[in-house]
Each structure stands twice: as C-alpha cells, then as structure tokens.
C-alpha cells in the first residue's frame, strides 16, 4: 500500500522513480537491520528467561529422584505449601523482570 501511494504521488508530480525506489529500499533495509539488532540485544534476556523457567522444573525432577519424601512435603504439606508459593512467586517476579528488560529494548 505504501509503495503504491508513493508511486502514485511521484507520478502525479512528475518525479523520478529512481529516487523514490532508492529511498524505499533504504527504509526496508534499515527496518530489517533494526529487527536483527533488536533480536541480538534481547537474545541474552530470552535465554535467561528460558533458564529461569527451567530451573524449578529441573529441581523438582531431581528432587523426585533423590528425595521423593521432600518433594511430597513441598507439594502436600501445609508448611511446605508456603515454600512452594514463595518459589512460584519468585519465578513469576523473575520472569516479569526479564520481560520488562526485553520490552525496554527498541
């Protein structure tokens, strides 16, 4: 749509298509470059988010193999539930901070 409007405006005013096309190509290349830059700048945060999300799952899997009674305590005992809620809250807070860091990159 932008391309069509640009061409129509240029033709109606008698301009050269070469300049318009060169500017349009530059805009597209710059847009693609900025997208790649953004992906590079957020790659560390994206990996951090994956690691932060995996740690509790990995720990629960390891705990179920090493000491199933302690995992049962965390999951089913009222005192263990406090620990579980703390871990879930900390996870959500950590993921929210990482999300804000990624959102701040423009």
Q: CA dist 90 to 54, 84, 85, 93, Å?
A: 13, 10, 8, 5
Q: What is the Cα 105 distance to its own chain's centre? A: 10
Question: For 39-66, what is the mean pLDDT?
Answer: 87
Question: For 10-27, what is the mean pLDDT?
Answer: 77
Indicate the pTM of the whole model: 0.56
Instruction: Give the span between the Cα atoms of 69 and 64, in whole angstroms.
Output: 8
Three-class SS state of 14: coil
Q: Are 49 and 99 in contact (CB under 8 A)?
A: yes
Instruction: Give the span between the Cα atoms of 59 and 48, in whole angstroms.
Output: 17
List pLDDT tens digits, range 53-77.
898 889 989 999 999 999 999 999 9
List pLDDT tens digits, range 89-99.
998 998 888 88
Report the chain's mean pLDDT, rounded to a whole number: 84
Question: For 19-32, what is the mean pLDDT?
Answer: 81
Give the rounded percent of residues in the chain with a pLDDT score beyond 90.
27
Query: What is the helix (H) or strand (E) element at residue 10, kind and residue range?
Result: helix 2-13
């Amino acid at each position: 749509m932008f391309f069509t409007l640009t061409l129509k405006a240029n033709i109606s005013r008698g301009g050269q298509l070469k300049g318009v096309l060169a500017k349009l190509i530059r805009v597209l290349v710059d847009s693609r470059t900025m997208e790649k830059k953004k992906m590079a700048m957020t790659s560390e945060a994206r990996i951090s988010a994956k690691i932060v999300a995996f740690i509790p799952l990995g720990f629960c899997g390891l705990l179920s193999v090493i000491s199933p009674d302690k995992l049962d305590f965390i999951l089913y005992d009222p005192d263990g539930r406090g620990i579980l809620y703390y871990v879930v809250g900390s996870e959500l807070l950590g993921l929210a901070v990482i999300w804000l860091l990624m959102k701040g990159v423009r």
